[in-house]
Structure 1
Amino acid sequence: MFDSRYIRTFHEVVRTGSYSAAARSLGYTQPAVSQQMKALERDVGTPLFTRVGRGIRLTEAGEALTRHAGTILDSLSAAQQQIDAIARLRSGRVRVCAFPSACATLIPETMAALAAEHPGIRIELTESEPPESLRLVARGDCDIALAFSYPGHTAEVPDELAEVPLLEDPLTVLLPTGHPLARRRAVRLADLAGERWIAGCLRCRANFLHACAEEGFAPDIACTTDDNLVMQSLVASGVGIAMVPQLVLSFLCHSKVTGRIVEPHTRRRVGAYALREQLRIPATALVLDRLVAVAGRKVGC
């Protein structure tokens, strides 16, 4: 492997025609240039110059290296410029995997803030629920995962991931606006024991069943969906009611649906997860910082 410093000096020797001229151009001593050329010749395993009187002439190997030296230096310069841009947050890509309600609430404000402050930083967004999203980070298939866990149902976090806490998200119940309990500010889960229910994703459904068991009843589940918009339509149509995190209320689309806090109070924990070494990468650290800021303006903070 060639030392880029030696290639740069070699290129200057060829351009100027002598070791002493290259030394003056680069601000080196003539012996320093001579030593670098000897080191480069050791690296390539053959002489690059021959002495001709008081001057030097390229060998066949030297001519071959000359044809590539400019390209090598241009590539190194381009690489350095790109690395500097990434380090100075003028460019960069961060792959984020998030669950649906985070995609609809935390991610848009984060992307908007980045577009205003650092337009060269781009987020590539995919949607996935935990624990699959956490596995994607552990495999290196994405840089940051937004995931949630419920009390007693901890997230399956691989050991190599670090957590950045974002918020505590209270659970609410979605009711048709004409429901008798919709007039209350908060609703006791036990008072809804006779209702038909629409259940959510596997993790949310497990927590829901646990919460109902704690209140002494088994819910009558009419159907299951992990699509929040479908769930709202089902509630609006009177198919059933649903227990959802409060984040979902920020993008309620149906005027015939309302949300009320569930008692006893239960919250899910929302965090961002990344490989520990990723925390040192400027663009990843920036996105995490903006996620924390956006989450601080949301529910349960």
Structure 2
Amino acid sequence: MFDSRHIRSFHEVVRTGSYSAAARSLGYTQPAITQQMKALERSVGTVLFTRVGRRMRLTEAGEALSRHAGVILGNIDAAQQQMNAITRLRTGRVRLCAFPSATATLIPEALARLARNHRGIRVELQEYEPPESLQRLVHGDADVTLAFTYPGLHEEVPDEVVEVPLMEDQLTVLMPTRHPMARRRSVRLADLSEERWIAGCLRCRANFLHECAEQGFAPDIAFTTDDNLVIQSLVSEGLGIAMMPGLVLNFLCHRSVTGRPLDPASRRQVSAYVLREHLRIPATSLVLDELKAVAANRVGC
């Protein structure tokens, strides 16, 4: 395997025509250049220079290496420039995976902040609900994942994954604005035991059933869908009500739908997850910082 320092010295010897001239150009002593050339010849297994009088001449092997040396050094310099750009946050790629209500609220604001200050950072967005989103992180298909957990249904994450808490998202009940309880400032889940319900994603549905069981009833689930806009449309037509995260209130599309917080309050924890070793990657760390800044303005949503 070649030592890049030896290749650089070899290239300079060929360019200047002597060990002494190469030493002056590179800031080395002539014996140091001589030792590097001997080490390079040992590495390739043959001599690279012969002397004809006071002049140095490349051997066939030397000529072959000379043809590649400039390309090798150019690639090394290009790689170094790219590494410098990444570490100085001029460029970089982050694969971000998040659940739908986060991609509609937290993510756009965080990416806008990122674009204003770090245009070279490219974020590729994926949308998955947990636990699939966490699986994509562990399997190497995402660099940062946003997911949520509920107090009674918290799951352990692998040791190599770091959880970065972002915010608590208060649960609300979506109902038609004409619903009798829409006039209240908050609603009790037990008071809605006779309603027809629209359930969301698998994890949300599990928590919903858990909380209803805690209140002593089994809900009448008329529809099930992962699509927040579909849930809103069903609610607006009076086909049921739904327990939804507070983030959804930021993109209500139907004027005939309103949200009321639960009493007592019920919340889910929204967190970012990243592989421990990726915390040292500047672009990944920067995306986490922007997510934390945006989420800090929504605490208690």
| Pairwise same-fold verdict (TM > 0.5) | yes
Find the aligned partners of 1:204 and 1:280 in 2 and give their Cα distance.
33
Alignment-derived partner of residue 300 in structure 1: 300
SS at match of 1:263: coil
Kindly provide the amino acid, as one letter, of the partner of residue 300 in structure 1.
Answer: G
Find the aligned partners of 2:259 and 2:63 in 1 and give their Cα distance.
77
User: Could you tell me how far 1:156 is from its partner in structure 2?
Assistant: 4.5
Alignment of 1:197-208 (within 5 A): 197-208=197-208
Alignment-derived partner of residue 66 in structure 1: 66
Kindly provide the amino acid, as one letter, of the partner of residue 60 in structure 2.
Answer: E
Alignment-derived partner of residue 35 in structure 2: 35
- Check conservation: 1:246, 1:299, Cα contact below 8 A: no
Q: Quick check: 127-136 or 88-97, which moved more?
A: 127-136
Find the aligned partners of 2:182 and 2:140 in 1 and give their Cα distance.
45
**Residue 6 of structure 2 is aligned to residue 6 of structure 1:** yes
Alignment-derived partner of residue 155 in structure 2: 155
- Aligned residue pairs total 301
Find the aligned partners of 2:289 and 2:190 in 1 and give their Cα distance.
40
User: Could you tell me how far 1:300 is from its partner in structure 2?
Assistant: 1.4
Alignment-derived partner of residue 262 in structure 1: 262
Kindly provide the amino acid, as one letter, of the partner of residue 218 in structure 2.
Answer: A
**Residue 166 of structure 2 is aligned to residue 166 of structure 1:** yes
Alignment-derived partner of residue 221 in structure 2: 221
Alignment of 1:43-122 (within 5 A): 43-122=43-122
- Check conservation: 1:134, 1:158, Cα contact below 8 A: no
Kindly provide the amino acid, as one letter, of the partner of residue 173 in structure 1.
Answer: V
Which deviations, in whole Å up to 9, do the C-alpha atoms of 1:257-293 show, x marking residues without a partner? 0000012211111100010000000000000010000
User: Could you tell me how far 1:157 is from its partner in structure 2?
Assistant: 1.8
Find the aligned partners of 1:146 and 1:25 in 2 and give their Cα distance.
53
Find the aligned partners of 1:112 and 1:266 in 2 and give their Cα distance.
30
Kindly provide the amino acid, as one letter, of the partner of residue 265 in structure 1.
Answer: A
Find the aligned partners of 1:59 and 1:136 in 2 and give their Cα distance.
54
Kindly provide the amino acid, as one letter, of the partner of residue 236 in structure 2.
Answer: A
- Check conservation: 1:135, 1:158, Cα contact below 8 A: no
> TM-score scaled to structure 2, two decimals?
0.98
Alignment-derived partner of residue 132 in structure 1: 132
- Check conservation: 1:131, 1:156, Cα contact below 8 A: no
SS at match of 1:122: strand
User: Could you tell me how far 1:130 is from its partner in structure 2?
Assistant: 1.1
User: Could you tell me how far 1:158 is from its partner in structure 2?
Assistant: 2.0
Find the aligned partners of 2:118 and 2:297 in 1 and give their Cα distance.
21
Find the aligned partners of 1:147 and 1:239 in 2 and give their Cα distance.
29
Kindly provide the amino acid, as one letter, of the partner of residue 275 in structure 2.
Answer: L
> TM-score scaled to structure 1, two decimals?
0.98
Alignment-derived partner of residue 233 in structure 1: 233
SS at match of 1:221: strand
Kindly provide the amino acid, as one letter, of the partner of residue 135 in structure 1.
Answer: Q
Q: RMSD between aligned alpha carbons?
A: 0.9
SS at match of 2:190: helix
Alignment-derived partner of residue 246 in structure 1: 246
Find the aligned partners of 1:136 and 1:192 in 2 and give their Cα distance.
37
Kindly provide the amino acid, as one letter, of the partner of residue 77 in structure 1.
Answer: D
User: Which ranges in structure 1 are unaligned for 5 or more consecutive residues?
Assistant: none
Which deviations, in whole Å up to 9, do the C-alpha atoms of 1:183-214 show, x marking residues without a partner? 11100111111110000011100100111111
